[in-house]
Structure 1
Amino acid sequence: MTSLQSSSARSTSRTASRGRTDAALRQDLATSRPLVPTASIGGALAAGGPLLVCMAVAVVGWFLTNAGEEGSPSGALRVGAHSWLAAHGSTLAVEGIRLTAIPLGLTLLCAWATWRVGRRVGESVSGHGPDAARIADGERDWTVPIAAGLFTTGYAVVGVVACALASTAASSPNPARVVLWSILIGGLAGLPAIALGSGRASIWLPVIPDAVRDVALVSWRILRTWFAISLFALFAAFVVDFSTAANVVSQLHADAGAIALMALATAAVLPNAMLFSSSYVLGPGFTVGTGTTVSTSLVVLGPLPMFPLLAALPDQGPTPWWTGWLMVIPVIVAAVIAGRVQRDRPVLAWDRAAIRGCAGGITAGVVLAMLTAFAGGAVGPGRMSDVGPYTFDVLLHAITSFGIGGVAGALLVCWWQRDGGDWLTSRLGAVRGRLPRIPFRR
């Protein structure tokens, strides 16, 4: 009986050991795929996925608008490829008119696809290079930089091929700008995704000083909140003049297919419109054509294209008295965000709290100005070749408003944490002591 039990136990042990070995083998195979082909093909897939989506949408739109009576499928595919190239900074020629505006909505779609594919690539190559213990001992790990470089190269190759296939004598896309934007997307979305998917980010992030991480947190929360406010302002302005947008659609005599394509075009430029709204609330405003301006102090407009989203523009002429107070919003936003970070990560030193709030606000302002620089461009002939926010003025207003608000919010909460709460409690106690006592009767 004892021999049977021991034989059964040994068999169970061998089975469990073999099961663990099989699981470990599958894990090794899944995380140790060949580095060069995995990263290169991953970059090509990250670029090719949104490219195929744009081409498919263009073909569907071609069938919806004229049921295939005009043009050809190859022309529709070329239009889709040009929309993808425009999202990567390549200029586009339409009937001899050079368009330079970048549809940032499509750019965000490409960055999102790059992030998702980059995570999978990072997981697939995470078994390469030294482990965490060897990295902690000082051994260099080049897995993520090499994978990110190959990933970006594969992405850029797809962009160059798309330029070659979609190029015509009239359009002539710019391969250099496409390569540059491919490097930007690969560096800003692909590299962090690969580092996160491979587990290297969890090793590197703790090395970053706490002060730097806190500044980045303040900046990120300010930008996130500010984008939400700008989008809400755009939505509110559009809803107020929704009848104008409906009138534009009715004058175009658009059918259901054309309206669907117009909705997709609106979604493609929605981040651009949000940055226009951001510039307006900040104070500098923007231009919608040569000789025009839209700001909280003055609105001067001219003839505009029949595009429904333009219904969100304010009426021409003097602005209401309350629009000038909109410039207080960024100061309040920065103060609230910096105060909340100070509350969650208490720093009782005045200088450190002030530096964290100010540096976070200034960083948010610089990033906002950099994004605003890509919001405008030429969208048509003549006067419509000058459309966009006033980027330099946005930079000055943003770093001033966010910086002052960040300092004020951080110092106010720091004062409360040091002795403000005790002071307020003592003052309330003194006031309560001077109040007359009212007898309570049952």
Structure 2
Amino acid sequence: MTSLLSAPERAPEGWVDPRSRRPLALLSLAGGVAAAGSVLLTCLGLAVTGWFLTDAGAHGLPRDALRVGAHGWLMAHGSGVSVRGTLVTVVPLLVTVLSAWATWRIGQRVGQAVSGHGPDADQISDGERDWTVPVSTFWFTAGYVAVATVTLALAATPATQPSGPRTVAWSVALAVLAGGSAIAVGSGRAAIWSAMLPGNLRATAAACRAVLRSVLLAALVVFLTALLLDVATAVNVLASLQLGTGEAVVMALVAVLLVPNATVFSAAYLLGPGFTVGTQTLVSPTLVVTGPLPAVPLLAALPDSGAVPAWAVGLVAIPPVAAAVGAALAQRRRPTLRWEEGALRGCAGGVAAGLLLGWLATVAGGAAGPGRLQVVGPLSSDVLVHAITSLGIGGLVGGLVMTGWQRRAARAAA
């Protein structure tokens, strides 16, 4: 069997790629350590900076600030933390996203470094087994988990009690999913493997990414619009806290860290089920019931408790429209003239995006404080059902509309 890809020119006999001389295990292990350590060091630096901004180092020691930064990194890996006896399990998704991005970028470099190991494209296409990516991913994951384990050992105290098993599980998931995929791309194996996949499967994956990106962007726009419309309330909240300049900067940084969480909350609101900001509360397009809220400027974006305006119900049309736009844009780059293919790509991509959005709704919330704040977050099970239905229908419509447009363009060209 010949290769599906054009093979590179053959190297002279006896020539050895210098990259293949580099030890795969050592390169991958160092890559995993760098992926975890880069974001960890950023968190530590921000924590120390915030410590100096708040009281110029008058209280506490640098190691206390470093421990806070380490706990922030651990919380982004699902560890949770106990603050004065109160468990806080909300995941700062921005740090998680940065960790995934750093893992992806460094994983690509590791993939490029180990690409000379194992069989070449012709040999892989002819059926020879290639363990380069799995072995590299194993050592990459080992390096990432080692950093997480050491951080737990140094930062954890009997008072904070971060969860070790959850941290390790999140670290393994990040390293395998983001790092392993990046290693496959960087080493060139992903291009070989994807060429063997059905075209509709690749088009469906592209539609899933486009739909999820489009829906989250629409949710972010709605959240920022609501915050800007009531920015006076946010300013009053900050003024009531009587913060100094340094403390206000730290508060703003914390608010930025929670913007991705707020975006997922906004998506849950647009889908219909909504979210809670405490026990016995609900924020949805049809009902808003809130109680006393903590002094957090981001909460100024919440609608007023009580009667809901009639136009708010129309906001549930935003997710399917955004899904239709995303599916159409994805199919524009991968055209088809068959109605069934356009429908399948759009609908399956929308359903897959709904599953991912339901998972995001699960991890975006959690316990945020004592008392009522032990229950904060989207109604994840309802969001999952609504997301699959809404985004699936929107993706189906977008796929069919783009298919019709492409068929018409093909007839005009003929």
Name the amino acid aligned to 1:390.
L
After superposition, the Cα gap between the structure-2 partners of 1:300 and 1:135, relative to the gap in structure 1 and judged at 3 Å, is same
Partner of 2:218: 229
Distance in 2 of aligned mates of 1:310 and 1:321: 22
Match of 2:345 among 341, 356, 376: 356
Q: Which deviates more from structure 2 when the two are superposed, residues 404-413 or residues 378-387?
A: 404-413
Larger Rg: 1
Q: 3-state DSSP class of the match of 1:93? A: strand
Cα displacement (A) at 1:407: 2.1
Q: Deviations over 1:178-204 (max 9, x none)?
A: 110011101221011111111112211
Q: Structure 2-normalised TM-score? A: 0.92
Answer yes or no: is the 8 Å Cα contact 1:32–1:124 preserved in 2: no
Cα displacement (A) at 1:352: 2.9
Name the amino acid aligned to 2:297.
P
Q: Which runs of 5+ in 1 are unaligned?
A: 1-19, 425-442
Cα displacement (A) at 1:307: 0.9
Distance in 2 of aligned mates of 1:51 and 1:281: 34
Distance in 2 of aligned mates of 1:121 and 1:233: 39
Q: Deviations over 1:58-114 (max 9, x none)?
A: 112111111222111111111111111111000101111110111011111111111
Match of 2:262 among 259, 270, 273: 273
Greater relative contact order, per chain length (Cα 8 Å cut-off, separation 6+): 2
Name the amino acid aligned to 1:76.
A
Answer yes or no: is the 8 Å Cα contact 1:335–1:410 preserved in 2: yes
1:125 counterpart = 2:114: yes
1:150 counterpart = 2:150: no
Q: Deviations over 1:255-307 (max 9, x none)?
A: 12111111211121111000001111111110000011000011111111111
Distance in 2 of aligned mates of 1:121 and 1:43: 9
Q: Which runs of 5+ in 2 are unaligned?
A: 1-10
Distance in 1 of aligned mates of 2:251 and 2:353: 33
Partner of 1:367: 356
Partner of 2:61: 72
Name the amino acid aligned to 1:310.
L
Cα displacement (A) at 1:349: 3.5
Distance in 2 of aligned mates of 1:32 and 1:290: 59
Distance in 1 of aligned mates of 2:330 and 2:156: 50
Name the amino acid aligned to 2:322.
V
After superposition, the Cα gap between the structure-2 partners of 1:416 and 1:291, relative to the gap in structure 1 and judged at 3 Å, is same
Cα displacement (A) at 1:385: 0.3
Distance in 2 of aligned mates of 1:339 and 1:94: 47
After superposition, the Cα gap between the structure-2 partners of 1:115 and 1:348, relative to the gap in structure 1 and judged at 3 Å, is closer
Q: 3-state DSSP class of the match of 2:368? A: coil
1:264 counterpart = 2:291: no
Distance in 1 of aligned mates of 2:298 and 2:198: 44
After superposition, the Cα gap between the structure-2 partners of 1:249 and 1:416, relative to the gap in structure 1 and judged at 3 Å, is closer
Q: 3-state DSSP class of the match of 2:82? A: strand
Q: Deviations over 1:350-407 (max 9, x none)?
A: 3333222211111111111111110100010010000000111111111111112222
Answer yes or no: is the 8 Å Cα contact 2:203–2:331 preserved in 1: no
Report the count of equivalent residues.
400
Distance in 1 of aligned mates of 2:331 and 2:154: 54
Partner of 1:437: none
Distance in 2 of aligned mates of 1:71 and 1:87: 24
Answer yes or no: is the 8 Å Cα contact 2:289–2:306 preserved in 1: yes
Distance in 1 of aligned mates of 2:180 and 2:59: 43
Q: 3-state DSSP class of the match of 2:364? A: coil
Cα displacement (A) at 1:417: 5.3
Answer yes or no: is the 8 Å Cα contact 2:213–2:326 preserved in 1: no
After superposition, the Cα gap between the structure-2 partners of 1:61 and 1:199, relative to the gap in structure 1 and judged at 3 Å, is same
Partner of 1:399: 388
Name the amino acid aligned to 2:346.
G
Cα displacement (A) at 1:412: 3.9
Answer yes or no: is the 8 Å Cα contact 2:207–2:331 preserved in 1: no
Distance in 2 of aligned mates of 1:30 and 1:259: 49
Cα displacement (A) at 1:40: 0.7
Cα displacement (A) at 1:316: 1.1
After superposition, the Cα gap between the structure-2 partners of 1:418 and 1:109, relative to the gap in structure 1 and judged at 3 Å, is closer
Cα displacement (A) at 1:347: 3.5
Distance in 2 of aligned mates of 1:302 and 1:197: 51
Aligned-residue RMSD, C-alpha = 2.1
Aligned residue runs from structure 1 range 12-411, under 5 A:
28-30=17-19, 32-342=21-331, 344-411=333-400
Q: Deviations over 1:133-187 (max 9, x none)?
A: 1111111111111001110111001111111111111112111111100111012
Cα displacement (A) at 1:32: 4.0
Answer yes or no: is the 8 Å Cα contact 1:362–1:402 preserved in 2: yes
Q: 3-state DSSP class of the match of 1:287? A: strand
Name the amino acid aligned to 1:405.
G
Answer yes or no: is the 8 Å Cα contact 1:31–1:123 preserved in 2: no
After superposition, the Cα gap between the structure-2 partners of 1:116 and 1:303, relative to the gap in structure 1 and judged at 3 Å, is same
Partner of 1:433: none
Name the amino acid aligned to 1:265.
V
Cα displacement (A) at 1:415: 4.6
Q: Structure 1-normalised TM-score? A: 0.86
Cα displacement (A) at 1:43: 0.5
Name the amino acid aligned to 1:388.
G
Percent identity between the two aligned chains: 51
After superposition, the Cα gap between the structure-2 partners of 1:339 and 1:88, relative to the gap in structure 1 and judged at 3 Å, is closer
Q: 3-state DSSP class of the match of 1:373? A: helix
Answer yes or no: is the 8 Å Cα contact 2:211–2:324 preserved in 1: no
Cα displacement (A) at 1:334: 2.5
Distance in 1 of aligned mates of 2:155 and 2:333: 52
